[in-house]
Amino acid sequence: MDIKEYVTDIAKRAKAASRTLATLSTDVKNTALLKMADRLEEQAAAIIEANKKDMADGEAKGLSKAMLDRLMLDEKRVKGMADTLREVAGLPDPVGEVIRMWKRPNGLQIGKVRVPIGVVGIIYESRPNVTADAASLCLKTGNAVILRGGSEAIHSNTAIAKALKEAGAEAGIPADAVAVMEITDRAAVMEMLKLDKFVDLVIPRGGEALIKAVAENSTVPVVKHDKGLCHTYVDEDADPMMALKICYNAKVQRPGVCNAMETLLVHKKAADGWLPAIGKKFKEAGVEIRGCERTLKILPYAVAASAEDWDTEYLDLIISVKVVDSLQEAIDHIAEHGSSHSEAIITENYSHAQRFLQEVDAAAVYVNASTRFTDGGQFGLGAEVGISTSKLHARGPMGLEDLTTTKYIIYGSGQVRK
Amino acid sequence: MDIKEYVTDIAKRAKAASRTLATLSTDVKNTALLKMADRLEEQAAAIIEANKKDMADGEAKGLSKAMLDRLMLDEKRVKGMADTLREVAGLPDPVGEVIRMWKRPNGLQIGKVRVPIGVVGIIYESRPNVTADAASLCLKTGNAVILRGGSEAIHSNTAIAKALKEAGAEAGIPADAVAVMEITDRAAVMEMLKLDKFVDLVIPRGGEALIKAVAENSTVPVVKHDKGLCHTYVDEDADPMMALKICYNAKVQRPGVCNAMETLLVHKKAADGWLPAIGKKFKEAGVEIRGCERTLKILPYAVAASAEDWDTEYLDLIISVKVVDSLQEAIDHIAEHGSSHSEAIITENYSHAQRFLQEVDAAAVYVNASTRFTDGGQFGLGAEVGISTSKLHARGPMGLEDLTTTKYIIYGSGQVRK
C-alpha cells in the first residue's frame, strides 16, 4: 500500500468511528477510560519491553541524553499514564452542554450545544505518554484521534495504543477511534494535512520547523503548540524583592519549557539598583547573560547580545537582558519580538499594570507572577492537550472544552421564513 | 511597486493600526460608526457616481442581470448601508468582556477576557454594501480590516471606504484601520494569504473555486463562508401539512441563498401519500424536480436525478428528491452529501427528532422548521459577518463575538511556580 492510500484509509476509518463516538454516553466513555487505565498497568511489562527497542534504537542513533530520558518508560511512568486516564475519566464531559438556549419571537427555540469536533490529528515527538494523554482527552470529548508520534517512539506508541484499543473495544469503543500512524515518514504527515474531508483539526506539538511545515502545508485547520519567547518587564515601580523572586523562578525553575522567560526587560530607573542583584542570582545558578549595551555597563560579566538574541527561544540557562526607557518601549519590544505566549510585568503601579494587561497581545498576560504558570493544571482547567499559540478557536492552555465545537439546534413547530 | 510589496505594506500598516484599535473605548468606536453613517449619506452622490462606472464596466463585460443588480447602488441602498452602521453602533461591544474569572489556591486571580483578533482579511464579490458592513463589524470589535472586494465593484468600494476613512479619522480612528485592496488581481489575494505575520484571520465569501483556492493556499487561519447543500427529511411520522409548508418555504422563498433546501429526503411510508402534494406545489412554482427511481414512479413529471445531483448546490428553482427506507438512511445520506450547513427533519416522533438533532453533524440542525432561518438576524445575534461552514473558531452565523479571541489575564502578588 502506498503512503497516500495508507493515510487516507486511516483517516476514512477514523471519520466513520467519529460518528459513533459522538453518540456515546459519558458513562460509556468513562468506563472505557478506566478499563484502559487498568489495561496499561496490566500490560506494563510488554509496553516497557517495546520501549526498550526504541531506547536501543535511540542510543544507536545517538539521541541526546535529554531525548532518551523523555523517551524512556518504566513502571512508574506507565502508572503515571494510567493515572492520567483515571483523572480524565473524573473530569466533567463537555459534550452535550447547552451553552445558551433562547426563544425567538416566532417561537423558535434555539440552542447552542457543544459537540465533538470529529477527527483530531496530533503530531508529536519523543514522549510516549502523549499517546495515552491525547487519546484519553479525545475519547472523553467524543473525537476520533490519529496519533502521529515520532519514529523514535514507534514501538512504545504502538504497544500503548494496542492496550488502549483492546480495553476500549471491551467497553464498546469503535476500534478506529484511536489510530496510530505506524508509517512515521514526514510524507505521511504531509498526506494527512491534505485530508480535510476526513480530518477536522491538526495539533502539531514539536520543533519550530515541524510546526512551520504543518502550517504551510495544511488544508486542515491547525491549532499550533508553538514556541514561547516569554518576557518579564521589571517596571520602574517594581517591588525589587518580588521582581528578584519572580524573574529567578521564570528563568531557572525549569528553563527547557515554553513558558520559561527568555528575555528580561528592565526600566532604566530600576537597572542600576536592581540588575546587579538578579545578575548575581543568575550567575550563581549558571545562567549566561546576554545584555544590551546598557546592561553590559552594569553587569561587566555579561556578554553582548546580538540582534538575533531578541528573537531566540533558548530553552536553556541563557537569558537576554535589555534596559528600556519606558513602559511603552517594553510593550513595543514585546510586540516586535514576543511569540504571544506569556508575558509579565512586575510593578506596584496600578496604571502601568492595567496598561500592560490591556496592550500586550499574548495568550497569557501577568502582573506580579511568574510566566511559568501558563499551564492547564496550574490554571485549574484539568488536563491539557497543549498550549495554543494560535489566536483562533483556542488560545493558551487547551482543556477539554477546546476539543469541542458547537452546533445550533433549533426546535420548531412549523415556522417558515417570511 | 510590485504586488507583494503593495500587499505587505497594507498588511503591515493594518497590524500597526490594530494595536491602537484594541485600546479604543466603546464610546470612541460608536461615535466613529455614527459619523461614518452620516458621511455615507452625505457622500451618496459621489458613491453612486462611482458605482455608475462599475455598472457601465459590468455591462460592457456582459455581467448577468443578477450580478448587476447586486452591484447596483442607489440612494436607498446607500441609506441601507448607513442604517447598518447605526445598528452596529447600537450593539453591545464584546471587547473587554470577562467571560470568567476565578481564584487559584495560591491566590492567583485568572480571568479570560475577550480581545480583538487583530487584522481580519475579508474576500468577497460584487455587493458593495459588504464593504461598509464588514468594516463596521470589524471596527466595533477593535479589529483592523483588509477588504478585498471584486474588481467589478472597485470604484464603488473605494468611494465607500473613502467616506468611512474620512469620518473615522475625525473620530480618532487610525487611517489604516480600514484598508481597501485596490489591486484586485487574484495574485494580490494569494500574497495576503501568506502574510500570517500580519494578518490573523481570513474570511472568504464567494464561489466554491475561490474558497477552495483560499483554503489550499493560506497560512493565515481561514473561517470559510462556503456552500450550503441543505436537506430536509420528511419522516414517516411527519405532519403532512406542516411538511408541505416548510419544504415549500425552504425551496421556493429565496432559492439563490446558502440556507435554501437543495435535496428533499422522504421516508418511503410518506412518499406515496405526500410526494404528489409537494410535487404539485413545486410544479406550480416552476421548480424542476430531479428524482430517484422511486420518486419518478410517484411523480411522472419529474426528471431522473444523476449521481451528481446529490452533490449539487443548485441555488435555483431545482430540487433533488430521494425516497429513503429509514431515518438511518436519511442521516447517512446527509453525512455523505451534506455540506454541514443546515439540515432539517419534519416529524412528530420524539425519538426521531432527538436522534436527528444528535447525529446530524451541521452548523444548524432543525426540527419542524425551515432551513431558511440560518442567519444572524433570524437567530437574534444582531449583524452577521457571514455564516461559517468551518468547525473551528466559529460555526454557523458569525456575530460580533466571533470576531474576537480571548486572552488570559493573571493578577498575581508575587507567586512563583514550585
CB–CB contact B364 A407 (8 Å): yes
- CATH number of the structural domain spanning residue B329: 3.40.309.10
pLDDT at A176: 96
Q: How far apart are CA A128 and CA A126, in angstroms?
A: 6
The model's confidence at residue A18, banded by pLDDT at 50, 70 and 90, is very high
Q: What is the pLDDT of residues A208-259, one digit of tens each?
A: 888 889 988 999 999 988 889 999 999 999 999 999 999 999 999 999 889 9
Is pLDDT of B285 > 80?
yes
C-alpha pair distances (Å), A237 with each of A31, A355, A380, B225, B391: 54, 14, 30, 49, 45
Of A248, A369, A413, the CB nearest to B410: A369
CB–CB contact A23 B358 (8 Å): yes
| Closest residue of chain A to B416, computed from CA coordinates | A370
Domain that holds residue A176: 3-226+390-411
The model's confidence at residue A139, banded by pLDDT at 50, 70 and 90, is very high
Sign of CA dihedral B15, B17, B20, B21: negative
Q: What is the pLDDT of residues B46-89, one digit of tens each?
A: 999 999 999 999 999 999 888 898 899 999 999 999 999 999 99
In terms of domains, do B347 and B219 share one?
A: no
Collect all residues of chain B within an 8 Å Cβ-Cβ radius of residue A222: 221
pLDDT at B201: 96
Whether A383 is covered by a domain: the verdict is: no
pLDDT at A125: 83
Of A364, A408, A412, the CB nearest to B396: A408
Arithmetic mean of pLDDT, A103-117: 97
Q: How far apart are CA A185 and CA A195, in angstroms?
A: 16
Lowest mean pLDDT among A42-51, A91-100, B217-226, B276-285: B217-226
Cell readout for B193 is 494569504
C-alpha pair distances (Å), B366 with each of A107, B246, B357: 13, 11, 7
For an interface test with A, the pick among B391, B393, B404, B411 (most A C-beta atoms closer than 10 Å) comes out as B391
- For B126, the enclosing helix (H) or strand (E) is none
Exposure on the CB side of residue A206, measured as CA atoms within 13 A: 21
Cell numbers 488560545 correspond to A395
| Closest residue of chain A to B119, computed from CA coordinates | A391
Number of domains in chain A: 2
Residues A223, A334 contacting (CB under 8 angstroms): no
Lowest mean pLDDT among A3-7, A10-14, A114-118, B185-189: B185-189
The model's confidence at residue A375, banded by pLDDT at 50, 70 and 90, is very high
- CATH number of the structural domain spanning residue A20: 3.40.605.10
E strand spans, A104-229:
109-116, 119-123, 144-148, 178-180, 201-204
Q: Which residue from A263, A247, A215 is spatially nearest to A389, judged by alpha carbons?
A: A215
Interface A–B counts its CB contacts (< 8 A) at 205
Whether B407 is covered by a domain: the verdict is: yes
* Separation in Å, CA of B50 to nearest CA in chain A: 34
Q: 3-state class of A405 per DSSP?
A: strand
Strands of the sheet containing A342-346, edge to edge, are A303-304, A288-291, A318-324, A261-267, A230-234, A342-346, A364-369, B404-415, B109-116, B98-103
In terms of domains, do A150 and A217 share one?
A: yes
Collect all residues of chain A within an 8 Å Cβ-Cβ radius of residue B366: 409-410, 412
Arithmetic mean of pLDDT, A186-201: 94
Number of H helices, E strands in chain A: 15, 16
In terms of domains, do A236 and A354 share one?
A: yes
Q: How far apart are CA A116 and CA A139, in angstroms?
A: 10
* Cα-only R_g, chain A: 24
Of B200, B249, B411, the CB nearest to A367: B411
Is pLDDT of B384 > 90?
no
Arithmetic mean of pLDDT, A106-123: 97
A298-A301-A305 Cα angle (round to 5):
80
Q: What is the pLDDT of residues A330-348, one digit of tens each?
A: 999 999 999 999 999 999 9
Q: What is the pLDDT of residues B142-166, one digit of tens each?
A: 999 999 999 999 999 999 999 999 9
pLDDT at B382: 76
Cell readout for A47 is 509496553
Whether A417 is covered by a domain: the verdict is: no
| Closest residue of chain A to B214, computed from CA coordinates | A219
| Closest residue of chain A to B366, computed from CA coordinates | A410
Sign of CA dihedral A411, A400, B200, A213: negative
In terms of domains, do B367 and B252 share one?
A: yes
* Separation in Å, CA of B38 to nearest CA in chain A: 31
In terms of domains, do B299 and B202 share one?
A: no
In terms of domains, do A35 and A156 share one?
A: yes
* Separation in Å, CA of B52 to nearest CA in chain A: 32
* Cα-only R_g, chain B: 24
Max distance between CA atoms of chain B, in angstroms, equals: 80
Of A362, A370, A393, the CB nearest to B417: A370
Residue A119: strand pairing partners: A144
% of chain A surpassing 90 pLDDT: 89
Q: How far apart are CA A209 and CA A167, in angstroms?
A: 36
Judging by DSSP bridges, how do beta strands A386-388 and A119-123 pair with one another?
Answer: unpaired
Is pLDDT of A131 > 80?
yes
Whether B46 is covered by a domain: the verdict is: yes
Q: How far apart are CA A16 and CA A12, in angstroms?
A: 6
Cell numbers 445575534 correspond to B381
pLDDT at B386: 87
Is pLDDT of A1 > 80?
no
In terms of domains, do A26 and A66 share one?
A: yes
Residues B398, B112 contacting (CB under 8 angstroms): no
Arithmetic mean of pLDDT, A27-50: 98
The model's confidence at residue B32, banded by pLDDT at 50, 70 and 90, is very high
Residues B120, B410 contacting (CB under 8 angstroms): no
Whether B416 is covered by a domain: the verdict is: no
Is pLDDT of B173 > 90?
yes
Exposure on the CB side of residue B156, measured as CA atoms within 13 A: 31
Residue B364: strand pairing partners: A408, B342
In terms of domains, do B208 and B293 share one?
A: no
In terms of domains, do B254 and B120 share one?
A: no
* Separation in Å, CA of A47 to nearest CA in chain B: 31
| Closest residue of chain A to B342, computed from CA coordinates | A408
Of B246, B361, B414, the CB nearest to A242: B414
E strand spans, A150-276:
178-180, 201-204, 230-234, 261-267
Q: Which residue from B75, B109, B303, B151 is spatially nearest to A364, judged by alpha carbons?
A: B109
Q: What is the ipTM of this complex?
A: 0.92
Q: How far apart are CA A101 and CA A410, in angstroms?
A: 9
In terms of domains, do A31 and A46 share one?
A: yes
Whether A27 is covered by a domain: the verdict is: yes
Collect all residues of chain A within an 8 Å Cβ-Cβ radius of residue B253: 416-417
Q: How far apart are CA B195 and CA B184, in angstroms?
A: 17
In terms of domains, do A32 and A163 share one?
A: yes
Whether B384 is covered by a domain: the verdict is: no
Q: How far apart are CA A153 and CA A156, in angstroms?
A: 5
Cell numbers 486542515 correspond to A220
In terms of domains, do A142 and A218 share one?
A: yes
Q: What is the pLDDT of residues B77-125, one digit of tens each?
A: 999 999 999 999 999 999 999 999 999 999 999 999 999 999 999 999 8
pLDDT at A70: 87
Cell readout for A220 is 486542515
Is pLDDT of A206 > 90?
no
Judging by DSSP bridges, how do beta strands A404-415 and A109-116 pair with one another?
Answer: antiparallel
Whether A162 is covered by a domain: the verdict is: yes
Max distance between CA atoms of chain A, in angstroms, equals: 80
Give the amino acid at A34. L
CB–CB contact A416 B372 (8 Å): yes
